[in-house]
Structure 1
Amino acid sequence: MGLREAKRYIDKLRKKQDNPYLWPDFLTGLPDRAAVLNKIEKVFPRIGRYGIAYIRIGNIHPYLLKYGSERHADVIQWAAGILKTLSDESRGSFVGTVGTHDFVLIAKKDELKGMVKKANKLFSNKMRGFYSKEDINRGYVISFKRDDGERVEIGFMGFVSALLTSPPSVERLNLIPALEGVCRSMEQTGEEFKEVSI
């Protein structure tokens, strides 16, 4: 799997978008939040054999602040295309969207970590082309000073992923909000990948 396959997925998606009733999520072509929750209901008793990754596009808001929203849909579609083509390569896996910048990937426990790391590498590499050479050379998009004088530099887009591979202590209905909360905390601290117990 590579960017070529993801590009083919996006091209097919754009052709099919002429009829939005064919797609649960018009922008990505992926199953929507309701479908994700339905899939989680089925796989929940088998978490441990299967794993769940909550994947969020990190640092997209600084990108949008600096560069505008002209390529916003492209960013989301590349994320979806990369995750979908990786999911298609792994029998029994599933990917859907649970928010504009948020996805859930379900796969066999022993495959999930490798899939997420590969997806992050592909996505990060693709997103570098969305930035100016100046930003790439500098190594960040936006910088500012906090009230305490600390300088903060915000980097490039990439996936922020929380992986659950052991049975959770939270109830099924609270699983997605709990994983989302972990991802948002990770984004604040700059973490990209974390195996969690919740």
Structure 2
Amino acid sequence: MATMRLYFTRNDPEHTILMSANGTIHYQVETVKPAVFSTPTLCISRPPGVGIDGDTFVAEVQWRRGVHHPVVRSHIFDGTEFIEIEVRDFLFKIGRHRSHLRGDGGKADHGGPSTRYFLGNDDEEYMWKPVKGVGYVLLHCKTRREIARPVQEMVTEGFFKGQKKYCLAIEPTTLDIDVIVVSFLIMEKRRRDRVTAESMKMRHLDEDAAAEGGCEAEMTGALQ
């Protein structure tokens, strides 16, 4: 089986459409805020006619602030029943839950502080692991086989031919595609939030250094 590529019409994990190379729409993604003081909700759906029995709903993630943790609502956890769980329980860290995740040598497989783990619909364990210059890559915990990764590429055929598009490349797997897409959108949204926050922090530090007139500010300016 060939690698599946889901192209993002917009390079934005909160507002986009995921399409295959032939132009078929697989997922629609939007973030809504029902009321002025409500928290935004990420809504993931299929276009009419694509879902099983006409069901277009895939999942929704309600981003909460303060002491409240974000929650995800979906059928993807057992395939039938609508379940609501906290995102931190769906995509968890080693140590938060007792887990039999094992790596080489029988030791617990720690992928780093930003790595998140989950149990797939196939009862196998997977991890979203950050890779520098790429983003989050999905690996099978036991075999370390790569399942999915984000790619920025020039499309050579199909609906997006000649365009440079951001896509999620998915290898043949027993893991449900809905689970891959939902978990990736959560991880990617959070990653971009952290990058934006860090960028703003560094910008403020640069402004403070320039205002104080220190030698490090002059050096920074000389290197730019």
Q: Indicate the structure with greater helix content.
A: 1
Q: Of Structure 1 and Structure 2, which has the larger fraction of its residues in strand?
A: 2
Q: Which has the larger radius of gyration?
A: 2
Query: TM-score of the superposition, structure 1-length normalised?
Result: 0.23
Q: TM-score, normalised by structure 2?
A: 0.21
